[in-house]
Amino acid sequence: MIKQLENQIQDLQKELAKIKKQLADLRLQPCLGDSEIRAKEKKFEELDGRAAVLTETLRDLTRKRQLLLSESAPRTIYNSPNCN
């Protein structure tokens, strides 16, 4: 289960990196007219939305992974010395 989560997290991180690269490339593209500006803004909104969803999904999967790891970790009991 943990390995599956790690694989999902890796895949989503790769996809998010691709989207961020697309956003960076889009920022560098010049616009000549209003129609190109509107198209560029629409593409920005689409990519930003996908990036936000991926970021939230990554956060949730990372929390779930950490929870599974903490549940599977052996519990150590610390007995403090009695101070008399």
Q: What confidence category does residue 84 fall into, taking pLDDT thresholds of 50, 70 and 90?
A: low
pTM for the model = 0.76
76 located within any domain: no
Distance CA 15, CA 33 (A): 31
Domain span at residue 56 reads: 2-69
Percent of the residues in the chain that have a pLDDT greater than 70, as a whole number? 86
Q: What is the DSSP letter of 21?
A: H
Q: Is residue 84 part of a domain?
A: no
Q: Is residue 41 part of a domain?
A: yes
Of residues 32 and 47, more confidently modeled: 47
Instruction: Please name the amino acid found at residue 49.
Output: G
Whether 58 is in a domain gets the answer: yes
Residue 75 lies in a domain: no
Residue 59 has pLDDT above 90, yes or no: yes
Q: Is residue 11 part of a domain?
A: yes
- With tokens 């790769």, the residue in question is 14
**How many domains does the chain fold into?**
1
79 phi-psi bin (left φ>0, alpha ψ -120 to 50, beta other)? beta
